Each structure stands twice: as C-alpha cells, then as structure tokens.
Structure 1
Amino acid sequence: MLAEAASFDVLIVGAGPVGLTLALDLASRGIDVAILERRPAGEPPSVKCNHVSARSMEIFRRLKVSQDLRNAGLPEDYPNDVSYRTTTLGIEIARIKIPARKYRYSDKSGPDGWWPTPEPPHRINQIFLEPILFQRAASTDGITIFSETTYSEFREDQSGITAFATSLSGDERQFRAKFLVGCDGGSSVVRKQIGATFKGDPVVQRVQSTYIEAPDLIGRMTVPPAWAMFSLNPRRSGNVYAIDGKERWLVHNYLKPDETDFDSVDRHASIRRILGVGPDFQYTVLKKEDWIGRRLVADRFRQGRAFICGDAGHIWVPYAGYGMNAGIADAENLAWLLAAHLKGWASDAILDAYEAERMPITAQVSYFAMNHAHAMFEQRSAVPDDIEASGQRGDQLREALGKAAYELNVQQYCCAGLNFGYFYANSPIIAYDGATAPEYTMGSFTPSTVPGARLPHFWLSEGESVYDRLGPYYTLLRSDPKVEVTPLLKSAEAHNVPLALLDIGEPSELDYKLIVVRSDRHVAWRSNTSPADSSGLIRTLAAST
C-alpha cells in the first residue's frame, strides 16, 4: 500500500551523528527537515567513534548542545590521557596528558591546553553522543524523524526530488523534498545513485575489534587508567579504549599484514595478550566490531539536488575520530549553503561551494590518516623482544620506545593542524586577495586571516568568544570604528544578503580592520578599507552573477 508523499525542504537519509548534525543546523535556520532512519528510535549505535574534535565541539556550541555532550561519556574525573604500555596491566612507557572533562576548560598544561578555541575536544563514545543528538533532533521544531524506515531510491525533476522508502511493516512511502542528502555511511545507497565512485586504497589496515565487559580490569592496573591504552610488545600489539570508565572497553587487535582473515586469528588469545592477563581473567564479549581501515574518497559529492556527507563521501583509518568529525564538518558546510539558497538570498550556484570546499579537505585528511597508520605499523613492528626486561637494558629500551611513541602520537591525539589549520583554497564564494594560506601538518598550524582560513579565535572584552557573536550567515568584523562600512552594509541589504556588523576592539589576532567571516568561522574577505565595489563583493558572497 502506497502512502501519500510527505513534503519537506531537505530529506536526509541516515540518523547518525552527521545526519543529525545536518538536521539540527538546518532547523536552526528555519529549514523544514525530515530524516529517514532504518533503525528503531533510540537503538544504540555501534561502539565506533570515541572522540569529538574541538572543531566539532565549536559546531555543537553554536547549536547549543555542547554542554549536554560535555556532561556525558566517561566519569567527570576519569583521565582522558593516552597511555603506552607493554600491556594494559604492564609497564607504562609513555603518557600523553589530556585533562578529564571536569578540568577540560581550566587545565591548560597539556599538549592541547593552549588551543585557541572556546570548546576544547571531548572524549565521548558514539553510544553516548548519538542518543543526545537524536533526542535533541526529535524534540526540535522543523525536524521529523521517520524511524524503522529504509530508503531505497530517488527520482529528480525540475522542482525537486521524490524519494522512496519502505517502513518496517512493509508499507511503501514516498517523500517529496527540494534536496536530498545521503548521510547513510560507507555503503551509501545515495552515493551509488548519484554515480559517485570511491577512489583510493581499499585496505590500509585490518583490526579485530571486540567490545567487552571486564569489571576487574581497572582494579588490576599498576598505573592510573587512561582513555586509550596502547599495548606495545612483540607478541601482540593493540589498544584498549575506555567506554564508560568502569567496566566496558573496546579492544583493538591490530592484525599483521599476513593476517587477512579475521576469524583465523584467535580473538581471545589476542585479547589476553593485549591486556596482559592469564586464562583465569574473566570478561564478556558484548559485540564483535571488526573493521578494515581504508583510504577512499568519492569522486563527486553531488549530483543535481542530491548530496552526500560523512562516510558516504569518504572513509579512512578512523584515528582520533577523524571520520566522524570530518563528516560533522561536511554537515555544517552544507547546511548553511542549502539554507542560503532555500531562503532565497543566494543563487543555486552557491551549492557548488560544497564540493569545491569539502572534497579537497577530505582528500588531505585521508592521506594524513593513512600515513599515520603506516607509521604506527612500523613502530609496532619494531618493538624489541626484550622490551619487558628488568634492569638497565629494559629501562633504556622502554625509554626510547616511549619517547618515539609519544612524539609520533601526540600529533594524532592533539591534532591542532587538523582542527584549525585547513583552509578552502578554491571556493567560488570566497574573495581571495592573492595571499597564500599557511601550510599545516596534523599537529601544527599557523593562525591566519587569509581568505579561506579559519578565523583566529579570540575573546572579546566582555569575556565572550567572538564565535558566539557571529551571525547565522555572514558577519563583518570591524576593529576600527572609523572605517566607513555603510556602502557595504547597504549593498548587502539591497541584495537581501544577511551581513551582520560586529564592532570589536583591536585584538592582536586580527591583522586587518575589516573581515567578513562566515557562520562556519571561515574568512570570506578582508581589507583595511571598504571595498571599491561593494556590490561585486556581495554578489560573490551570494554566488550571484
């Protein structure tokens, strides 16, 4: 039986973190959204991502959900450190200090304590994160969630898209929308339907991953627990993530190159070697979460009125939550562009900016992740046979390996470059001025106001983050009130382009008196004087000819 088509501005396929973020962002801009999700409402997700980046937390701050997320996850005083040991219960050789969430805003001593952001990163597993986003979306005006509904296909015409789906009861449903966004994961149906193809490296790493319950593990540790505990020994190297900080853990067993069959590797023997326990240690397997790390990026993110976000457009080795966090950045980018067009002040050409901006960034991040995976493999493969030896020889080996592990991995877990350094170099809606944005690495970056870069963060004199004062689309920051901006503001008004004026002091972070910044915190234009052609600048920002 075919139900009558329901109509929305935007139809999202998939209610994971990326789809939910996209829906919340669109709804905050007055856009009517529907989400199709095959799982029952409230069904917990897999134990996947363990980390929300600072950039993602900035997004959640703008959506007024950051504090709810900050209050969830590990116990407030549980160390968020990354610890390197011979085994989970063995000798610690290095520790990357990361504050517990109770001290996250106040503790500036660690390798990411200096970060220029109002929202530091947050260690929280997806099983806690996603339900908070789901409940917020379900209670938000303008968002309708169709759970237990399996999307099948779409058809596009001149005025919109008709999508087809089937409910759990077998009823066929039609949905009408102006735009469709596939946030439906690595096996995305929408990706295939827009003719996009994954390109890259199909196998970078194989990981036998097991979600376990082991109430006695924390009490047996000879050193303080940590959020992530890497075991480095010649028998079996792996990693243990704390899920609830009490008894639930995710154990990653990094398979060797010749171990291509997950089932051929003794799961329980590997877990015991990683933990450093004997056959008497009791634990319960809650779920098998085996995965293959890949480096794949779609060759297109859009066809007509249909888009893809998150894992639907890119998948790679999921270090430090890069995959989910990149998807959340996709969602923020696409949300304001869709809203700008749907609100009528930007032409449909503004939608070209999504692929032009996000595709190069995801390709860059995919290489960062893959190269780091290779470097970690080399380090695991070179663990000395006598790393656990007592005496001076063992101490020297552990000191050397600990130093190397710290230097390699602090850039992964305290990745300032990936958070703050990337920039949009070839966008149709950014007014470039010929300056080159600073290069960045995984762990380092240089703050910059070069158009396309992230606006350097600073605190206003009232103790408020400048990001909290940005408008929903464009904001003109003025550090010198004597600079005349009336023609620019009048031009924006004449073109119906929302451009809010924010007068600030003269913070050292800004090297120009006038900066136009987008709601996603990327610089769109800068100058020390008003533009000679205000109308031309506004047309660029609105993608109008």
Structure 2
Amino acid sequence: MTDIRVPVLIVGGGGCGLSSSIALSEHGTQSLLIERHATPGRLPKARYINQRTMEIFRQFDIADAVYAKSMPLKYISRIRWCTSLAGDGPLDRKTFHAIDSFGGGSLRHYAEDSPCESTLYPQVRLEPLLRAEAERRNPGKLLYNHELVSISQDARAATCVVRDRDSGREFTVVADYVIAADGGRTIGPIVGSRLTGATELADMVTVYFKADLSEWWDDDHAMTTWFVNPDGGSWSSGVLGKLGPTRFDRHSEEWMFHFSFRPDDPARFDETKLLPRMRELLKLPDLDPEIIGIGHWVVEGVIADRYRFGRVFLTGDAAHRHPPTTGLGLNSAIQDAHNLAWKLDLVLKGKASDGLLDTYETERRPVAERNVSWALLTFQNHPLTDAGIGLVRGNAEVSRKNFAAFFADDDEGRSRRARLDQVIGVQRMEWQAHDLELGFHYEHGAVVRDETFAPPRDPMGGRYVPVTRPGHRLPHARIAKDGRELSTLDLAEKGNFVLITGCRAEAWRQAAIQIAGSEGIRLVTVRIGDEGDYRDPHRDWLSLRDIGEDGAILVRPDNHVAWRSRTGHPDAVGVLSDAFATILKLDVDAVGQARPTARVVA
C-alpha cells in the first residue's frame, strides 16, 4: 500500500468512529477509518440507544436495520429492585419497587415527541451492523487491525503514521482533518488533552453469559433488575440485564451481570470468585452459565479540557466519559459525530470557513458537561435508593429486619413502601430523562440567536419542551405528502439545509433559491400547510412552529434550527445571506456574496 491522501482520517472503529464514517459518506466527503482491533470486542458494553440517536440512524437509513434486530421498547419498559432471583426463603424473590423507563409503560408522551422509539441493542452487535453500513458507503476505506503510531500537523495537513498490525508495515496517511474516536488511548495524550473530573468511583466487573433464566425471571417487560441484598448494596450486590438476541422476554438467551468493587479490593481481578458470587446473590446454587466474556472497567465522569487541537477533533470517549447511569455515553458519542460531520463536509468543500469547525467544541462540550454531571448525579442516587429500601451497610441483621418490616402488611410496612415510592421519585431521573435525551440545545455556535429565551429545563430531567428557537432540535411533527405520513425531522437529509416556511412566504423561498444557486449550498425549501408542499393533517406543526404564514425556519443538516424569522422581511435575500454568513463563519463583502476565510487553530 502506498502513502494515502484523504480529507478525513478517523481513528477508532467503535460506535462513534463508525458513525462518523457513515455521516461523512452521506454528506459526500471521503474518509479513511483505522481500528487497532481486528474484530469487535466480546463484551456488550453500552446497550441503550435513545430516541435522539435513533433519529440520527433514521436520517442515515439505518434505523430500520437496528429495529429489526434490537430489543423492542415494550421489553425495556421497566426497571425493578428485588431481593433475589430465586430461593425459597421468606425474603427471597420479592420486588421492592418497579419504575417505567425510556418511554415504555405509562410514559406515552415520549411517542409524541419523536418518530423513533428507544431501543436496546448491545454495542457488541451494533458495531458489526454499523461496520457493514460504513463499508457499503465507503468500500475499502475501513482498515481493521491497523493502529496509529504518530501524528504531526501543520497549516496544510495532519501527517499520520499508521501500522498494519498483521504485517508490521508502516505507511503515511496525510489528512486535512483527523477525528479521534479512539477512546482517548492514543491521540489525546499525543496532542496534550487533559481529562478532568471524578475518577475511580467504582471498579466494575461485567460477566457476559448465556443461560436459561426463564424459570425465575418473571417480568417480560423488565430490562434490568437491581438486587439489593442485606450483605451489600444494589451495585455491590449485582445488576442483571437482558440482552436477547432473538428472544426479548424472560427467555432472553444472553445476559449481563454487573458487580462493583472498591478500587483497592484485590477480589475484583479474581475471576474464579465471580461465578460463586453470582450463584449466591441470585440464589441459584446450580447455575452453570456459558461465560462469553468478563470485562473490567472503572466508573468515572470526566471531560476533556479542549475538543479541538488544530486539525484534530476529539469525539466520544476521547472527549468525555460517563458513569453508565442514564445511558448517555454511546448516545453522546454518536451525537458528537453527527454534529461534526456536516461541518467538516462544508469546510472541505469550500462552502464554510474553518471557523465553523470551532463550533463543534462550542456546541458539544456544554452538552457533555451537562450529561457527565447528570450521570454522576444519578449514579450517586443509588445509595439513596438503598436507604429508602432499608439497607444498612455493614449490618446484615438490621437490614434483614428492615426488609421484613418493608414487606409486612401493617401500618409500618405501608409507610416504608410509601417512603420508597417517594425516593424512587428521585431515582426516576435515571430512566425518565426525556429532556436530557431530546432537549439539549446550542446557545452559541453555528446558530443565529433571536430575541427569545430557552424554555426553563425540568430540574428532574423528565419534561421536554419542543421549540423552534435557534439552537434547538427541530421539533417532531407529523406531516403528510402524497398520502404518506412522515416527520418534520425527515426533511433534512443527505447534508441538506432546509428552509421551512409558511404558505405566504414566497420572498423567503425565492431568497433561498437565489442563495443556493449563487453559493452552491444544498438548500431545500418546504412549505407546510393546507396549501403547501406538505400538509399538516393533525395540526402538529401549527402548534409548534412559532412563526407566521410569512415566516421561515432554517434547519441545519443535523436537524438543529440555525435561524428563524417569525415574519417576512423586505430584504429577504440580505437577511438570509447574513444568516448563512453567521452560521458558516464567512466574511461578507456584499449581500449574497459570502466567501470562505480559511483558518486553522493550533
């Protein structure tokens, strides 16, 4: 293989790197991906895919392939806390509490806010699907068992030395830009990235196994069960979750079991003790599972001091790492890729200045700060739940008495159960974080702010408020064309900007046509209404749009609102040209004559 010249080099073939490859291909920009491992790992790792990530997959025509194999929402619609899975003692096989999760059960409002349901699809299976999709779009440009050796950069390009781990041969890749999706293992230390935050909160062990637990798992709709044992807490006792892959009810073929240890506990590396501990905690002394893999990982909540280092951009775990609570890690990583790809595409094609790439950090880092803080907060809620149940750490005798009192059919039992119900009202932050998943927005960056303020965010994270305010995700509304119903989110595809107008906004439409023709920007205009290109049969859009019939909303390729005008304007071309100049970070020398200004920040 000779040395390679490529617009974008992606380092890392996990969910973030593969999503970056897919997104760039969809926009029409070439990339090369290298991954040091020959095949995906054997551990499930992240498994929850939220609505926003499924919307991204929908935009890239991947959602149907995921839904065809993933665990449907009805089977992940409940989280519960139990004493044990089996056993015949007076406190065995009892449920302390259950809560609806991720849009299932009573959480029907989730379906009103998105065309997509949340789902469960372990990363060990998601990555091969994404790999196949990336290779189909970019054949021959995914190099597995290849690792980055070094990277240097100047004002013209980044020069990377790559090693083929099979042959040992090294070659050079010269790229305009580099996406570091390597989990922070290689590029971060090279460029001097610093990760700060809470580290070594717990040392986790995950046992990934096959077994038939249908005789004891008695809730088909429960995704995860937390076992609270008198001899430990919920995390230290164990967490058991379904994984499918073909049965999603109590007959799930594969499972994952988490243990937590203190970082200084030598038992965390003694795998011979894990199966006996599982048997003891589940009260299944004859359990003989097929162990698929055992993984060790540390719970931490950290974020990089910078996301951009010249021509290098940190994404996913290289930029931020979350406790697993609320399931924000993989979802945030894929959303990073979604944000960065369209910006790289426009800069490489000369339609935007390099300054647009600075907005990747401006927009995504505050979201990561919020998500990391949220995951830390929900992680710290678990001791509160244990206390609400009546667990007294280090005192098994008192804990057993409390458990017996909890299940008693008397006034004290009812009071204890009512108390736990109130405590779980706090714990719902972890599994009903609807606003965290859909409500994140960008106050600064590639947006033109207007005079309005963002709606107050629910401090418990549950209430999402859809708005068309610049910086926010375009609200989902059901619209129709030619007898087919679709979502407003379906209007932005293949890297297009979309100008959504009312039915009396011809000036905005003509301005868009003129700007797209003169600047070569992919811009689609859409009228929604009774006389428009798309009908609004349920009046969903009318209730959400917050513009008049002569107004307009400009939507970015990543489905975030970039600009809006509630009414018409006598100089529609000038106003819309200025909006594009602000969004794309262009210098404007005349109305409609925006030109890129190249710049690289070292």
Is the structural similarity TM-score above 0.5?
yes
Question: After the TM superposition, which of the residue ranges 49-58 and 488-497 deviates more from structure 2?
Answer: 488-497
Which residue, out of 465, 468, 473, partners 1:454?
473
Structure 1 residue 93 and structure 2 residue 96: aligned?
Answer: yes
Which letter does structure 1 place at the counterpart of 2:224? A
Structure 1 residue 514 and structure 2 residue 584: aligned?
Answer: no
Q: What pairs up with 1:252-271 in 2 under 5 angstroms?
A: 252-255=258-261, 262-263=268-269, 267-271=274-278
Structure 1 residue 490 and structure 2 residue 497: aligned?
Answer: no
Query: Relative to structure 1, is the Cα distance of residues 75 and 340 closer, same or farther in structure 2, using a 3 angstrom cutoff?
Result: closer
Displacement of 1:208: 2.9
1:69-120 deviation per Cα after TM superposition (whole angstroms, max 9, x unaligned): 1111348974543222222342123333459xxxx9xx88435644411111
- 2:38 aligns to what SS in structure 1? coil
Query: Relative to structure 1, is the Cα distance of residues 223 and 10 closer, same or farther in structure 2, using a 3 angstrom cutoff?
Result: closer
Displacement of 1:455: 1.4
1:413 match: 431
2:395 match: none
Q: What pairs up with 1:395-544 in 2 under 5 angstroms?
A: 395-396=413-414, 399-400=417-418, 403-404=421-422, 406-427=424-445, 429-440=446-457, 441=459, 442-462=461-481, 463-471=485-493, 472-482=495-505, 484-485=507-508, 486-505=510-529, 507-512=542-547, 513-527=551-565, 528-530=567-569, 531=572, 533-544=575-586
Displacement of 1:497: 2.7
Structure 1 residue 228 and structure 2 residue 228: aligned?
Answer: no
Does structure 1 conserve the Cα–Cα contact (< 8 Å) formed by 2:157 and 2:175?
A: yes
Q: Which 5+ residue runs of structure 2 have no aligned equivalent?
A: 87-92, 391-398, 530-540, 588-602
Query: Relative to structure 1, is the Cα distance of residues 316 and 138 closer, same or farther in structure 2, using a 3 angstrom cutoff?
Result: same
Does structure 2 conserve the Cα–Cα contact (< 8 Å) formed by 1:182 and 1:190?
A: yes
Structure 1 residue 305 and structure 2 residue 311: aligned?
Answer: yes
1:415-468 deviation per Cα after TM superposition (whole angstroms, max 9, x unaligned): 2111111111121x2110132212324322221222111111101133111111
CA distance in 2, matches of 1:476, 1:46: 43
- 1:320 aligns to what SS in structure 2? coil
Displacement of 1:123: 1.1
Does structure 2 conserve the Cα–Cα contact (< 8 Å) formed by 1:73 and 1:128?
A: no
Question: After the TM superposition, which of the residue ranges 265-274 and 242-251 deviates more from structure 2?
Answer: 265-274
Structure 1 residue 290 and structure 2 residue 332: aligned?
Answer: no
Which residue, out of 185, 199, 208, partners 2:205?
208
- 1:289 aligns to what SS in structure 2? strand
Which residue, out of 214, 218, 222, partners 1:218?
214
- 1:191 aligns to what SS in structure 2? helix
Query: Relative to structure 1, is the Cα distance of residues 306 and 419 closer, same or farther in structure 2, using a 3 angstrom cutoff?
Result: same
- 2:337 aligns to what SS in structure 1? helix
Displacement of 1:515: 0.8
Query: Relative to structure 1, is the Cα distance of residues 112 and 52 closer, same or farther in structure 2, using a 3 angstrom cutoff?
Result: farther
Query: Relative to structure 1, is the Cα distance of residues 399 and 63 closer, same or farther in structure 2, using a 3 angstrom cutoff?
Result: same
Displacement of 1:282: 2.6
CA distance in 1, matches of 2:211, 2:357: 49
Once superposed, what is the RMSD of the aligned Cα atoms?
2.6
Does structure 1 conserve the Cα–Cα contact (< 8 Å) formed by 2:323 and 2:375?
A: yes
Query: Relative to structure 1, is the Cα distance of residues 345 and 140 closer, same or farther in structure 2, using a 3 angstrom cutoff?
Result: same
Displacement of 1:278: 4.2
Does structure 2 conserve the Cα–Cα contact (< 8 Å) formed by 1:336 and 1:473?
A: no
Query: Relative to structure 1, is the Cα distance of residues 387 and 274 closer, same or farther in structure 2, using a 3 angstrom cutoff?
Result: farther
Instruction: Kindly name which structure, 1 or 2, has the bigger radius of gyration based on alpha carbons.
Output: 2
CA distance in 2, matches of 1:274, 1:50: 23
1:134 match: 131
Which letter does structure 2 place at the counterpart of 1:504? I
Displacement of 1:475: 1.0
CA distance in 1, matches of 2:470, 2:177: 29
- 1:533 aligns to what SS in structure 2? helix
Query: Relative to structure 1, is the Cα distance of residues 193 and 257 closer, same or farther in structure 2, using a 3 angstrom cutoff?
Result: closer
Which residue, out of 6, 14, 17, partners 1:8?
6
1:220-276 deviation per Cα after TM superposition (whole angstroms, max 9, x unaligned): 23444622111123323231111124232111123469858624795345423442x
Q: Which 5+ residue runs of structure 1 have no aligned equivalent?
A: none
Q: What pairs up with 1:68-467 in 2 under 5 angstroms?
A: 68-74=65-71, 78=75, 80-89=77-86, 90-97=93-100, 109-110=106-107, 113-141=110-138, 144-167=141-164, 168-185=166-183, 187-215=184-212, 217-224=213-220, 226-236=222-232, 237=234, 238-244=238-244, 245=248, 246-255=252-261, 262-263=268-269, 267-275=274-282, 277-384=283-390, 385=399, 386=401, 388-389=403-404, 391-392=408-409, 395-396=413-414, 399-400=417-418, 403-404=421-422, 406-427=424-445, 429-440=446-457, 441=459, 442-462=461-481, 463-467=485-489
Relative to the length of structure 2, the TM-score reads 0.82
